[in-house]
Amino acid sequence: MTDLLISDFLTGIMIFIRIGAMFFFAPLYNSNSLPTLVKLALAVIITYILFFNVEPYPFKEDDSVVYLFIFGMKEVLVGITMGFTLNVVFQAISFAGLLVGRDMGLAMSSMFDPISGDDGNVIATLL
């Protein structure tokens, strides 16, 4: 019985670590305009939703803390990779908007982009 509870707890922690690392690097969630408590609550809610769709962590009694630490670092790296990939996609869309706006003649009109924190033309900010 306790093996099942420990396995469920470790599964939830590993999901939370991955989602938290992704939120740290995702473009919409890493800005300072979103409070840390809201990010934490959103990560907990998404962890709860995903928990029932993931296989439980195969916990064994002889697993050491070092093994769990390495597994946690793997989850952090996967979350960072997911957030960084999402950031690259958003930057590519913004750059495409810059090119389209320049071709339309909107290169001189600039608008503040609150997500990236710099000025861009109207089409890039819209995209």
User: Residues 49-77: pLDDT tens digits?
Assistant: 999 898 877 777 667 888 889 889 999 99
Query: What is the rounded CA–CA span in Å between residue 12 and residue 17?
Result: 9
Of 78 and 9, more confident: 78
The per-residue pLDDT for 1 is 53
Contact 124/101 with Cβ under 8 angstroms? yes
Placement of tokens 């670092």 in the chain: 73
The SS3 of residue 103 is helix
pLDDT confidence bin for 126, thresholds 50/70/90: low
